[in-house]
């Protein structure tokens, strides 16, 4: 073990040390070992750590110090909406009456929880302009797939069995084509034009009687609003397809425009992005799905509804695609989103989008002096720079990202979207102050200067982190996926 | 109106607008066609201040009967177990919960190492060498396992025991529609999967056989025999869904030859929270390592040879492979996997077996008391911490009355199994005391017909 290594929990383990506190056996004893056939009794115990409670706290406190969250500093990770996670949400999610309720309790004993869910559904319907919402999907990609399964069921119910294609822009998140495949469709790519928008001519070219749906993020992953959305909706609808809205970028338009009004038939939202459910180091998320009236019958079941002043789970939905998840969705994350929406209201949500867009445009204009801006127009909540200029000097976008670590920041999303060379995708969010934005801008400009004057310092970055660049090839070639003694 | 999450001042805004070269933020939205511009006000409840909203939400929470106010005998996939205090203290550290997926390893070693440790613990529990960083929940993890088995074997037929959780089966059915798999359900007999029917159904088109161990009725399926039946066909895979706590006492499915073991770690440090978020796990063999859905963390070294961790084998994943990815999953349940890792560390090597044994013994005490009270416990086989009792009258009605007596009663099996109308699935965890069991049995005895 190297001096700089941080021990694994297993390396802290010592035979005989404990930190559990289990109840005593308060009933007459039973002899399990004679009751259970011997080959069903585990012979070697699962080798979990044997550590004290203080060991646990030191270990995880140490690990947390080797991690970086929004509370640690600025996190302009494009497409991920790393906004502040309100502390009140965390408190509310821990109320006993929310965190310690069982999904199979009699519904009369959980009316408060169901009221929250119903109210959240109503709020999300209003924000998106959709007819009906289900909270069952667990995350964004899960919501995408749920909606595609509904679109599939819709076409099949119409006897339209040959709609095998789902159209996805070349700038789309990887989950879009992956969800299309999992839902049994073929993903077809539509090109981006010179303005950074879906190429309408190419769309017309790929649309045909096989088109089941078009998946679209609006604003798109370049941070640009798809201004020809009405025409696109017409093209798809005329061909008999459905229009699907990936809600990854809803943070740009709350109160300014609604997917339902744009002609979308189905949407998913990322409550862990736009509505402050924390990202948790990768999850849990929540990906509710909203649909038009025409698709409502296909929503997953059960659907939470209200009947005679009582909240009920409606299982009697014969056209439903069925269950997409056990129980009723990620209630704990939905509750955090609900708390946020109630804190902000209509006015606050609109202001959030206003400032998200203002912040992005401000940064874009300040940074375009030193970095290439492939699409020079007002952006929405995020923008994409290209490191082409720096690449010519031998410094790659990856190097710039690593240098930002030395300046104390989480870097932007890099090498995405795929249609921009050496891409850097910056999303500041609305919860950052001007001082924070300015400090980040100064760092980015300083790095641009370093690239010109002293490229090695950028190429060899990071210099100040607890570990240097990792050997990822080794990790993939000789995978070590668990601790071995 | 002030909004505490929005820090820009009016003068900041003016300065920024000048930099951008516009007069108002409205100009930044001018690209949205007027026809679809939303010009009204969203019809939402008025913004509420912190104290007022907290009060309102507390009132809402207080309307719910919960596992702290009532003694619960309800399980069926979600259990009331002891949660060590350290769990919430660790997951409340905001360096963990406000972070994104660890794409930048230099500043994410904490999360990466925590996941690596989680993978190790799951591997230990299941007896399989490879475990991923987590899935949404046990049900979707099982559905992903089914899809993987079909893709790997290039076969379409899946045999699923009816003793698998009904909601997991429902999720499998929905997931199976994409790749157009044929799902064949195998009946139960005396609370176990009917092995004869299973033997007859397995053929050269069978991609996998799915069983739950212990099963939905709490019974410990004879995995050794089941694996023999499954492996009589070359390539056919055995997929097992397991409550990971039970694996503290029971022989892990991996040792019997299971190819994929999945389940939910809610039993370790995750509150019930009305069914989610919980935390799916996914474990498999070395052979299937490169087909696993979701994130995997691997050990490596940095340029100076210092040990560290990275997301690895990413060529499987949607952000690289797009439509050719092994799954569309992106988010996992990292924070809940962390909660379970803390709980597993706290319970530890010896505590785990002790906790599993406590559950088993208390469930046996429940069985004995029910019989003494003249109630019919319907299965006679070996079981973990759940059992089925025939109440002879409507379970939901009884549960409503039990609520008034301070109990959350068991699961109404008649919802999913017509032949088990009026039957209740009762779970007994280490959290239930002798006194609670005694009174619960007395109340049930009084209420049933």
CATH classification of the domain holding B360: 3.90.1150.10
Residue A428 falls inside a structural domain: no
| pLDDT for B267 | 98
Q: What are phi and psi of B82, to 5 degrees?
A: -65, 130
Q: What are the tens digits of pLDDT across the range B34-64?
A: 999 999 999 999 999 999 999 999 999 999 9
| Nearest residue of chain B to residue A463 (CA atoms) | B106
Nearest residue to B256 (alpha-carbon basis) of B279, B278, B230: B230
- Same domain for A322 and A187: yes
Residue A4: pLDDT band with limits 50, 70, 90: low
Q: What average pLDDT does the segment B389-406 reach?
A: 97
Residue B304, in any domain of the structure: yes
Look at residue B438 and tell me if it is in a domain.
yes
Of the residues B342, B358, B389, the one at which a domain ends = B342
Q: pLDDT-derived band of residue B448, with 50, 70 and 90 as boundaries? A: confident
Same domain, A43 and A172: no
User: Which residues have a Cβ under 8 Å from the Cβ of B381 and sit 6 or more positions away?
Assistant: B190, B191, B192, B219, B220
Inter-chain contact A358–B403, Cβ cutoff 8 Å? no
Shared domain for B248 and B126, answered yes or no, is yes
Instruction: Enter the DSSP assignment of A417.
Output: S
Looking at chain A, the whole-number percentage of residues with pLDDT higher than 70 is: 99
pLDDT tens readout for residues B260-299: 999 999 999 999 999 999 999 999 999 999 999 999 999 9
**Are B103 and B130 members of one domain?**
yes
Residues of A whose CB is below 8 A from B27: 378
Contacts of A482 in chain B (CB under 8 A): 116, 119-120, 123, 129-131
Please indicate, yes or no, if residue B172 is contained in any of the structural domains: yes
Q: Strand B182-186 to strand B157-161: parallel, antiparallel, or no bridges (unpaired)?
A: parallel
Give me the domain span that covers residue A51.
Answer: 9-61
Q: What is the ipTM of this complex?
A: 0.98
**Residues in chain B closer than 8 A to A149 (CB atoms):** 174, 177-178
Task: Band the pLDDT of B317: cuts 50, 70, 90.
Answer: confident
Compute the nearest-CA separation of B335 from chain A (Å). 5
Region B147-170: what's the mean pLDDT? Answer: 98
Q: Find the CATH number of the domain harbouring A168.
A: 3.40.640.10
- The b-or-e profile of A383-414 (16+ CB within 10 A means b, else e) is bbbbbebbbeeebbbbbbbbbbbbbebbbbbb
Strand ranges of the sheet holding A289-291, from the earlier edge strand across to the other edge: A132-134, A289-291, A266-268, A242-246, A211-217, A165-169, A186-190
For B74-88, letters b (16+ CB in 10 Å) and e give bbbbbbbbbbbebbb
What pLDDT was estimated at residue B324? 87
> Using 50, 70 and 90 to split pLDDT, how confident is the model at A227?
very high
Does one domain contain both B172 and B129? yes
Task: Return the HEC string of B4-55.
Answer: CCCCCCHHHHHHHHHHHCCCCHHHHHCCCCHHHECCCCCCCCCCCCHHHHHH
In a domain, B180, yes or no: yes
Q: Is the pLDDT of residue B172 over 50?
A: yes
Assess whether pLDDT exceeds 90 at residue B118: yes
A30 and A136 in one domain?
no
What contacts A194, CB < 8 A, 6 or more positions away? none
Pick A365's closest partner by Cβ from B20, B27, B77: B20
**Cross-chain residue pair A69–B63, CB shorter than 8 Å:** no
Task: Give the pLDDT confidence score for residue A1 in this predicted structure.
Answer: 42
Pair B172, B296 in one domain: yes
Report CA Rg, chain A: 25
Tell me the shortest Cα–Cα distance from A455 to chain B, in angstroms: 19
Distance between CA atoms of residues A158 and B239, nearest Å: 36
- From residue A398, give the alpha-carbon distance in Å to each of A395, A404, B322: 8, 10, 21
Q: Give the distance, in angstroms, between the CA of residue A215 and the centroid of all CA atoms in the same chain.
A: 16
- Provide, as residue numbers in chain A, all residues whose Cβ is less than 8 Å from the Cβ of B411: 104
Contact indicator for A106, B396 with CB cutoff of 8 Å: yes
B92 touches chain A (CB under 8 A): yes
Task: Taking residues B129-144, report their average pLDDT.
Answer: 98
Question: Span A9-27, mean pLDDT?
Answer: 96
Question: Strand pairing of A132-134 and B407-408?
Answer: unpaired
State which residues form the domain around B236: 86-342
Q: Which residue of A has its CA nearest to B88?
A: A94
Q: How many domains does chain B have?
A: 2
Taking one residue from A and the other from B, the number of pairs with CB-CB distance under 8 angstroms is 702
B47 contacts in chain A (CB < 8 Å): 342-345, 347-348
Taking only the tens place, the pLDDT of each residue in A133-186 is 999 999 999 999 999 999 999 999 999 999 999 999 999 999 999 999 999 999
* Final residue in a domain of this structure, among B325, B342, B359: B342
CB contacts of B308 in chain A (<8 Å) are 467, 470
Residues B208-245 as b or e (16 or more Cβ within 10 Å = b) = bbbbbbbbbbbbbbbbeebbebbbebeebbbbbbbbbb
Q: What is the mean pLDDT of chain A?
A: 97
CATH code, B287: 3.40.640.10
Whether the CB of B168 is below 8 Å from some CB of chain A: the reply is yes
- What does pLDDT average to over chain B? 97
Q: Which of residues 265-294 of B touch A (CB under 8 A)?
A: 271-277, 279, 289
- Looking at the structure, tell me whether residues A51 and A163 fall in a common domain: no
For an interface test with A, which of B11, B17, B27, B36 has the most A Cβ atoms less than 10 Å from its Cβ? B36
Considering the domain architecture, whether residues A29 and A112 belong to the same structural domain is answered as no
B33 touches chain A (CB under 8 A): yes
Distance CA B46, CA B43 (A): 9
Query: Are B309 and B359 contained in the same domain?
Result: no
Q: Is residue A100 assigned to a domain? A: yes
Residue B390 DSSP SS3: strand
Single out the residue in B286, B309, B342 at which a domain terminates: B342
Query: Quick one: pLDDT band at residue A2, thresholds 50, 70, 90?
Result: very low
Give the pLDDT of residue B262: 98
Six-digit token string for A298: 């296909």
Q: Which residues of chain A lie closer than 8 angstroms to B353, CB-CB?
A: 42, 45
Q: Does residue B449 surpass a pLDDT of 80?
A: no
Residue whose structure tokens are 């497409």: A79
User: Do A32 and A148 belong together in one domain?
Assistant: no
Tell me, yes or no, whether A277 lies in a domain: yes
**What does the longest C-alpha to C-alpha distance in chain B come to?**
83
- Token pair in block for residue B148: 């993987």
B115 CB contacts (<8 Å, ≥6 apart)? B102, B133, B134, B295, B297, B309, B334, B337
Give how far B356 is from chain A: nearest CA, Å: 11
Q: Do B298 and A462 touch (CB under 8 A)?
A: no
Residue among B36, B78, B434 minimizing CB distance to A257: B36
Please state, in angstroms and rounded to a whole number, the distance separating the CA atoms of residues B323 and B38.
34
Identify the residue among B64, B249, B338, B354 best suited for mutation to test binding to A, counting A beta carbons within 10 A and taking the highest.
B64
Decide if A2 contacts B306 (C-beta within 8 A): yes
Find the helix packing angle between B10-20 and A331-367, rounded to 10°.
Answer: 50
Percent of chain B surpassing pLDDT 70: 100
Task: Tell me which DSSP letter residue B290 carries.
Answer: G
Domain co-membership, A29 together with A155: no
Within a domain: A382: no
B317 in contact with A, Cβ within 8 Å: yes
CB contacts of A284 in chain B (<8 Å) are: 136, 276-277, 279, 331-336
Cβ contacts of A464 on chain B, cutoff 8 Å: none
3-state helix, strand, coil in chain B (%, to 5): 45, 15, 40
Q: Which of A343, A371, A404 is the last residue of a domain?
A: A343
B334 close to A (CB below 8 A):
yes
B116 and A101 in contact by Cβ < 8 A? no
How high is the pLDDT of residue A201? 98
Q: Which of A175, A281, A472 lies at the smallest CB-CB distance from B328? A: A175
Same domain (yes/no): A108, A155:
yes
Of A4, A75, A83, the CB nearest to B306: A4
H-helix or E-strand spanning residue B183: strand B182-186
Closest CB to B48: pick one of A116, A333, A342: A342
Chain B residues whose beta carbon lies within 8 Å of the beta carbon of residue A469:
106, 302-303
* C-alpha–C-alpha distance, residues A247 and A250, integer Å: 5
Instruction: Inform me whether the pLDDT recorded for B192 exceeds 90.
Output: yes
List the single residue in A with minimal CA-CA distance to B321.
Answer: A174
Which of A305, A324, A343 is the endpoint of a domain? A343
d(CA B436, CA B434): 6
Domain count for chain A: 2
Provide the pLDDT confidence category of residue A236 given band limits of 50, 70 and 90: very high
**CA–CA separation, A94 and B83 (whole Å):** 13
Tally the residues of chain A. 485
Instruction: Answer yes or no: do B121 and B226 share one domain.
Output: yes
Q: Nearest to residue B188, comparing CAs of B364, B379, B371?
A: B379
pLDDT (mean) for A446-466:
97
Residues of chain B in contact with residue A91, where contact means CB-CB under 8 angstroms, are 54
Among the listed residues B64, B273, B44, B65, the one whose alpha carbon sits nearest the alpha carbon of residue A119: B44
User: Where does residue B422 fall: left (phi above 0), alpha (psi -120 to 50 degrees), or beta otherwise?
Assistant: left
Interface residue A411 vs chain B (CB under 8 A): yes
């Amino acid at each position: 073990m190297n001096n700089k290594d941080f021990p694994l929990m297993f390396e802290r383990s010592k035979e005989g040390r404990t930190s559990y506190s289990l109840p005593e056996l308060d009933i007459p004893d039973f002899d399990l070992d004679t009751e259970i056939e011997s080959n069903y009794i585990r012979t070697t115990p699962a080798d979990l750590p044997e550590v004290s409670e203080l060991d646990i706290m030191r270990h995880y406190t140490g690990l947390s110090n080797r991690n970086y969250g929004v509370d640690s500093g600025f996190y302009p990770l494009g497409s991920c909406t790393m906004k502040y996670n309100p502390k009140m949400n965390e408190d509310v999610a821990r109320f006993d009456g929310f965190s310690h309720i069982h999904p199979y309790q009699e519904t009369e004993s959980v009316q408060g929880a169901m009221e929250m869910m119903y109210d959240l559904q109503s709020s999300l319907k209003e924000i998106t302009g959709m007819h009906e919402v289900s909270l069952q999907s667990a995350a964004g990609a899960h919501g995408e797939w749920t909606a595609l399964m509904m679109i599939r069921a819709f076409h099949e119910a119409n006897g339209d069995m040959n709609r095998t294609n789902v159209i996805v822009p070349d700038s789309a998140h990887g989950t879009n084509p992956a969800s299309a495949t999992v839902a049994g469709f073929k993903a077809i790519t539509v090109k981006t034009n010179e303005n950074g928008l879906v190429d309408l001519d190419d769309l017309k070219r790929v649309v045909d009687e096989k088109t089941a749906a078009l998946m679209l993020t609006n604003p798109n992953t370049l941070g640009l609003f798809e201004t020809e959305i009405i025409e696109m909706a017409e093209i798809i609808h005329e061909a008999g397809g459905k229009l699907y809205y990936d809600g990854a970028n809803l943070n740009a338009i709350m109160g300014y425009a609604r997917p339902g009004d744009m002609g979308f038939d189905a949407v998913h939202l990322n409550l862990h992005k736009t509505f402050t459910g924390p990202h948790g180091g990768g999850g849990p998320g929540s990906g509710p799905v909203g649909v038009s009236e025409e698709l409502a019958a296909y929503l997953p079941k059960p659907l939470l509804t209200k009947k005679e002043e009582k909240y009920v789970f409606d299982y009697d939905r014969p056209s439903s695609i069925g269950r997409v998840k056990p129980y009723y969705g990620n209630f704990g994350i939905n509750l955090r989103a609900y708390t946020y929406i109630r804190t902000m209201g209509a006015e606050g949500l609109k202001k959030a989008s206003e400032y998200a867009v203002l912040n992005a445009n401000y940064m874009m204009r300040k940074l375009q002096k030193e970095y290439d801006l492939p699409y020079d127009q007002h952006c929405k909540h995020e923008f994409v720079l290209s490191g082409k200029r720096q690449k010519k000097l031998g410094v790659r976008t990856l190097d710039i990202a690593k240098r930002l670590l030395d300046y104390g920041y989480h870097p932007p999303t890099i090498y995405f979207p795929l249609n921009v060379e050496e891409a850097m995708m910056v999303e500041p969010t609305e919860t950052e102050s001007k001082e924070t934005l300015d400090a980040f801008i100064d760092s980015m400009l300083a790095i641009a200067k370093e690239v010109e004057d002293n490229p090695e310092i950028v190429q060899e970055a990071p210099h100040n982190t607890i570990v240097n660049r990792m050997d990822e090839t080794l990790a993939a070639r000789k995978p070590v996926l668990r601790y071995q003694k | 109106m002030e909004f505490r999450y929005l820090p820009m001042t009016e003068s900041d805004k003016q300065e920024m607008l000048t930099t951008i070269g516009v007069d108002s933020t409205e100009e930044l939205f001018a690209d949205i066609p007027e026809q679809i511009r939303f010009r009204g006000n969203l019809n939402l409840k008025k913004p509420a201040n912190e104290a007022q909203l907290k009060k309102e939400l507390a009132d809402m929470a207080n309307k719910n009967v919960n596992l702290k106010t009532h003694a619960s005998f309800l399980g069926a996939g979600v259990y009331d177990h002891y949660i060590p205090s350290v769990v919430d203290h660790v997951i409340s550290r905001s360096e963990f919960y406000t972070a994104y997926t660890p794409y930048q390893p230099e500043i994410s070693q904490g999360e990466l190492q925590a996941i690596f440790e989680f993978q190790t613990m799951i591997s230990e529990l299941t007896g399989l060498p490879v475990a991923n960083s987590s899935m949404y929940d046990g049900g979707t993890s099982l559905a992903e396992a089914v899809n993987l088995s079909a893709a790997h074997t290039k076969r379409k037929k899946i045999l699923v025991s009816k003793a698998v959780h009904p909601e997991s089966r429902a999720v499998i059915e929905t997931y199976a529609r994409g790749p157009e798999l044929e799902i064949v359900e195998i009946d139960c007999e005396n609370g176990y999967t009917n092995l004869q029917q299973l033997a007859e159904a397995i053929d050269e088109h069978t991609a996998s056989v799915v069983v739950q161990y212990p099963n939905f009725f709490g019974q410990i399926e004879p995995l050794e025999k089941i694996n023999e039946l499954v492996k009589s066909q070359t390539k056919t895979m055995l997929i097992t869904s397991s409550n990971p706590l039970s694996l503290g006492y029971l022989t892990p499915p991996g040792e019997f030859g299971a190819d994929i073991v999945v389940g939910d770690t809610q039993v370790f440090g995750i509150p019930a929270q009305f069914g989610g978020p919980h935390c799916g796990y996914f474990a498999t063999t070395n052979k299937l390592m490169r087909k696993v859905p979701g994130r995997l963390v691997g050990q490596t070294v940095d340029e100076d040879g210092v040990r560290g961790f990275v997301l690895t084998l990413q060529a499987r994943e949607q952000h690289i492979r797009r439509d050719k990815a092994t799954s569309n999953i992106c988010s996992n349940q990292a924070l809940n996997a962390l909660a379970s890792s803390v709980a597993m560390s706290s319970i530890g090597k010896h505590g785990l077996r002790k906790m599993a044994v406590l559950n088993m013994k208390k469930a046996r005490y429940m069985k004995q008391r029910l019989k003494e009270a003249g109630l019919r416990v319907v299965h006679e086989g070996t079981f973990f911490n759940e059992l089925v009792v025939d109440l002879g009258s409507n379970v939901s009605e009884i549960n409503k009355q039990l609520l008034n007596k301070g109990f959350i009663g068991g699961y109404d099996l008649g919802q999913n199994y017509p032949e088990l109308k009026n039957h209740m699935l009762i779970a007994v965890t280490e959290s239930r005391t002798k006194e609670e069991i005694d009174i619960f049995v007395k109340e049930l005895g009084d209420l049933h017909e």
